[in-house]
Structure formats: C-alpha cells, structure tokens
Amino acid sequence: MKKVVLSVVAALAVSAAVPAFAADMPVKAAKVAAAPAPSPFDIAFGTAFTTDYVLRGISQSNRKPAVQGYFELDYTVTDWVKLYAGVWGSSLYAGLADAEFDITAGARFTWGNFGLDVGYVQYEYPNGVTASGTGNYGEFYAKPSYKFNDWLTVGGIFDGGSNFNDKVAGGAGGAGVWTGDAVAYYYSGNAVITLPWQPAGITISLNPEIGRQVYSSDVFTNLALPSYTYWDVGLDFNYKAVTLDLRYWDTNKHNTFLSPVAYGAKDLGGSTFVATLKFDTTLSALK
C-alpha cells in the first residue's frame, strides 16, 4: 500500500514540475524579415526665385528677377562614389537668349572629410543672340572640398573648355569669321562658415567666394571680353528644404560688361545685392 501511495505522490510531483521545465526551455525566435536595401537611385530637384541671376559676377538677367529650377538623377555606386546627370535652367533677358539650360554629368567622390566633384557641363542658349556672343559651349570642371570641422568647409572650382560660344560672334567687326583659339576658363575659392546658433531650428552660414574668369587674347579679339576678377559673400538662412540666400556681388570691371542700349545699357558687372529663395529636396527625403 505504501508503494502505491509513494508512486502516486511521485507521479504528481513529476507532473507538477513539467510546466516549470517547459517554461524554462528556450523558445526559438521567429525570423524577422530583413529590411530591403535602399535603392541606389535617387532624384534631386529644386527651384529658385532670385532678384538677379548673377553668374561669376556678371548679371545674366539684366538686373531683373529670374526663375530657376533643376532635376538630377543620382546613382550611388559605393559609399564613396556617386554618379549623376541632370539639367538646370534659368530665365534670361531677351538680349541674351530665350533661356539657359545647363546639362551636366559627372561623379562625386568622398574620402573621409575630403570631397571631389568632377564632370562636364554643356551650356545651351535657345535662340541665343549672336551679337551678344551667346552660343552653346561646354566646360569640364573639378570641385574639391575639405571639411575641417562642423563649422568650416573650404572648397574650390576649376572650370574650363574650348570652342567658346560656338565661335558665333567672330571678327572684330562682327563679320562672322573667328580668328585664333576660343579658350576660356575660371577658378575660384570658397568657404562655408556655419554660425554657432540656430534660432528656431534655422541654420545660418556665411559663404564667401573669390574667383577669376580668364579669356584668351583671341577670345578678347573676337568678342571683346576681358578677363576679370569677381567676389561675393552670402548669408544663408536654411530651414529643412528652404534656403534664403542674401548675397553681395562685385567685380573689378565696372562699366565694361554692358547690356545693349535697347535694354537700358546697364552695368552687368557692377556691385549689386541679390536675394534668392531656394527649395531643394530629394525623392528619398519625401518618402
């Protein structure tokens, strides 16, 4: 009888212990699906409204407002190489052309704090006015930069090419016969200095630049374009995708680059203040 009772007690003890053992057993975690890899493709785009379209110190809109926009397709090859191609456009004044379209293709490299952007840009001027020397032409460029810290980045631009303006104006008398070469290039140095405060989340930065536009002697003979130096300094207010740029421009060639008399004979290379409101974003940022 004692054996039966002991057997029953043992059985009850074992059955009572089973749930504890089961609870202590490791449970294999369900597999979580891996997040899909981000697409290497992206699209950057934006628009701008400016009180004066100034390019390398010279007004392209005859000191009047201009509307601008761009579209760029990006492909990330690796963490340090990105390929891109895009189109940027701006309104001009009728004394130059109907508009300007810059078609670009290139690659951006990043090694730590050092960056390098190299590529080619083709400038297209629909219905360019021959007398102004506004023809289509292209330039190769290199844009190195180095970020020293969170508040200072310095950079440079080296840009040049031949076949300037399709050799459209030709001859000192405008006879249409170009003589000599058609080489033009420019170089500049710039910096981005981020100020140490952000009121209401707005990033404020100071952006100085100085550059030199160089035309060969033959370009001067054919188009009467002298080489010159320009400089500018801007104060940027950035909030997310919106930037307000307030910028002062000047050159060492006042009263040299003038718009036609029919357009007011304005000094296109004189000192000026420009305000530009820009919107820039990417397709990935909107998802």
129's tokens: 């006015």
- What is the CATH number for 140? 2.40.160.40
Q: What is the pLDDT of residue 171?
A: 46
Beta partners for residue 250, in sequence order? 231
Rounded Cα distance between 91 and 69, Å, is 10
287's tokens: 């998802």
Structure confidence by residue, pLDDT tens digits, 29-58: 566 667 778 899 999 999 999 999 999 999
Rounded Cα distance between 14 and 24, Å, is 15
Domain membership flag for residue 9? no
φ/ψ (deg, to 5) at 278: -125, 145
Domain membership flag for residue 55? yes
Q: What is the pLDDT of residue 149?
A: 97
Rounded Cα distance between 145 and 127, Å, is 36
Expressed as residue numbers, the domain containing 64 is: 41-286
Domain membership flag for residue 22? no
Residue 34 DSSP one-character state: P
Percent of the chain with pLDDT over 90: 66
Structure confidence by residue, pLDDT tens digits, 221-233: 877 889 999 999 9
CA distances (Å), origin 118, targets 82, 161, 211: 11, 14, 18
Question: CB atoms < 10 A from the CB of 224, how many?
Answer: 12
Domain membership flag for residue 252? yes
Pure H helices in the chain? 2-24, 217-223, 283-286
φ/ψ (deg, to 5) at 224: 55, 40
Domain membership flag for residue 107? yes
Structure confidence by residue, pLDDT tens digits, 166-179: 555 544 444 567 77
Domain membership flag for residue 24? no
Rounded Cα distance between 73 and 41, Å, is 7
160's tokens: 């040049």
**Cβ(183)–Cβ(219) below 8 Å:** yes
Q: Could you give the number of structural domains in the chain?
A: 1
Domain membership flag for residue 30? no
Domain membership flag for residue 225? yes
